[in-house]
Each structure stands twice: as C-alpha cells, then as structure tokens.
Amino acid sequence: AKAQGEDVDIFATAASDADNKLESEQLDILMLGPQVSYMLSQFKEKVKIPVEVINMQDYGLMNGEKVLNQALKEIG
C-alpha cells in the first residue's frame, strides 16, 4: 500500500470475531477469505459497506498487491 502511495489500515480477524470488529472499527470494505465465502450474503445483509471475497489464487499465493487493488477498486 505504501509503495502505491495509499494510506490504509489493514487487519485480519477470525470470522467468529468479525461482528465485534464491525462494531468497533470504521471500515470502508470487508474482504472475506475464500474459505468463508459462504458467509458473503450474511455479511452483505449486516453492513452498508462493500463486502467481497478475496480471489482464491491471490489468497493462496499471498498476493497482497492484487488483494489491495481489488479492495481499492471496490471502494472507488
């Protein structure tokens, strides 16, 4: 993010703690790991921010640049 000149705060949390984070953090986007993609509609109903599933290949290869670009594209 810094290499692209982006000032962002990125963190990860377990799906079981996501509700607590949604209450305590101010988020622009929620990115779900592919292993919890089945929760996509559940989170879309709960929040008024974009909710996306991280591309499985990018997640597996830990391609942070692509995941960041996916998030930035969604939040415009």
| pTM across the whole model | 0.87
Model confidence pLDDT, tens digit, residues 26-64: 999 999 999 999 999 999 999 999 999 999 999 999 999
Query: Could you tell me the residue range of the domain that residue 11 belongs to?
Result: 2-75
Instruction: Enter the DSSP assignment of 61.
Output: T
Number of domains forming the structure of the chain = 1
Kindly list the distances between the CA atom of residue 22 and the CA atoms of 1, 26, 34, 56, in Å, as whole numbers in the listed order. Answer: 22, 7, 19, 23
Gap between the Cα atoms of 22 and 25, Å rounded: 6
pLDDT band at 76 (very low <50, low <70, confident <90, very high): confident
The CATH code of the domain that includes 62 is: 3.40.50.2300
